A and B are shown apart, each in its own frame.
Chain A
């Protein structure tokens, strides 16, 4: 798939800010000269110091393309220069430099039945896909497995569950499911008939999830991966 060139830098004014946990910040922005995004795409946020120094990072979009505001859910990384600033400092009315939407690979618009497996803040692009799917009546074409340590830690946990995602919590029991990463027999029924798989999460999670998909028969060439974070 070919996408248009990433647009020029623009600005976004923070219209809403919420800190659902001590590691997450949810920003909703009014974007100047906004270009419609596809579910799964990301934006670059650039911060600028008075002396001209800049720092920038990419964040996946959580909002449905028709949402008048652009929603980003940012996880605060240890020593994260941009994420820490957004978590600790950002407030309504602040203006941030933005560029996007970017990325033509990790996108889903309902063209094929798909499964998405995400760990932690990796759920963000899948939230955009689920919101889009629900609005267009395509919910039966997208199955989502969301993996988190605890319910409170997992971004959008309640919304994911309401939209039919399978939640696999690894550090606490959830309903009658005992804490554990997803098992192959939990995944197997969900991959029936899917033609594409999306994996999003940390490096360790992505490697776990691609291996798990392989175990239940998903072909490697149908898997699209978005990984973040560092290896030691």
Chain B
């Protein structure tokens, strides 16, 4: 592809580039908000979390029950398909492993559909939300997660593009076969690995 006449990139890009997947920029202290729907109003005390589908024990946790589970946190980088990345940020909540352990995935479960209160969905391979790589979080930098960023609770799958980290998540549905979620039906990639630049359907 052609070099862009006159373009040399930022002067400071080299120092931080090793943490940035291809095509991403460092948003610094900013945390852009990207949502396709009107932001819902949810009282935390009304928020529940369900794991169902192909599991032995479909389980729903109330808000206090969710908070009472063993806590787990993530400190690291997040990457949005719209090309911003946020480096060294912290979330706290519960590991998806903890939720799955209670519900007992059946052997044929291979994919997950995350559902939000708004009707938003996103699909993931089960392997991408197990092994300590995914969380349901309600705290960011020690404070309650703001509603525009998915509060009271959102999914966090930091090794994939952030549209996979469904805001206002209420349900993880385990499935035997993959099925496209909201953005995936609208042209985005089924997996979304930022290091492979899996942005849109048809990418590697």
Does A associate with B in a complex? Answer: yes
Q: Is the CB of A58 within 8 A of B32?
A: no
Assess whether B33 is interfacial by the CB under 8 Å rule. yes
> Inside 8 A of A210's CB, which chain B residues have their CB?
38-39
Assess whether B82 is interfacial by the CB under 8 Å rule. yes
- Tell me the nearest residue of chain B to A218, going by C-beta: B38
Assess whether A154 is interfacial by the CB under 8 Å rule. no
Q: Is the CB of A231 within 8 A of B33?
A: yes
| B interface: dominant SS | loop
Min CB distance A86 to B, Å, is: 10
A216 to B151 Cα, complex, angstroms = 25
Min CB distance A53 to B, Å, is: 4
Q: Is the CB of A102 within 8 A of B200?
A: yes
- A contact residues vs B (CB 8 Å cutoff): 1-9, 11, 46-50, 53-58, 81, 85, 89, 94-97, 99, 102-106, 199, 203, 206-207, 210, 213-214, 220-221, 223-232
Min CB distance A99 to B, Å, is: 8
- Tell me the nearest residue of chain A to B184, going by C-beta: A2
Q: Is the CB of A232 within 8 A of B29?
A: yes
Q: Is the CB of B22 within 8 A of A104?
A: no
A48 to B23 Cα, complex, angstroms = 10
Assess whether B44 is interfacial by the CB under 8 Å rule. no
Given the interface pairs A224-B36, A231-B30, the reply to whether A5 lies near B82 with Cβ below 8 Å is no
Within 8 A of A (CB), among B34-90: 34-40, 82-84
Min CB distance A146 to B, Å, is: 20
Give me 18 A-to-B residue pairs in the complex whose CB atoms sit less than 8 angstroms apart, sorted by A's number.
Answer: A2-B185, A46-B1, A49-B4, A53-B9, A53-B13, A55-B7, A57-B83, A58-B83, A105-B36, A199-B38, A213-B38, A220-B38, A229-B32, A230-B27, A230-B84, A231-B31, A231-B33, A232-B29
A102 to B201 Cα, complex, angstroms = 10
Q: Is the CB of B187 within 8 A of A102?
A: yes
Q: Is the CB of B35 within 8 A of A58?
A: no
Min CB distance A224 to B, Å, is: 6
Residue from A7, A11, A47, A223 having most chain B Cβ neighbours under 10 A: A47
> Inside 8 A of B30's CB, which chain A residues have their CB?
230-232
Name the one of B32, B38, B84 contacting A214, with C-beta atoms under 8 angstroms: B38
Assess whether B16 is interfacial by the CB under 8 Å rule. no
Given the interface pairs A50-B3, A81-B25, A221-B119, the reply to whether A3 lies near B32 with Cβ below 8 Å is no
> Inside 8 A of B148's CB, which chain A residues have their CB?
203, 207, 231
Min CB distance A97 to B, Å, is: 5
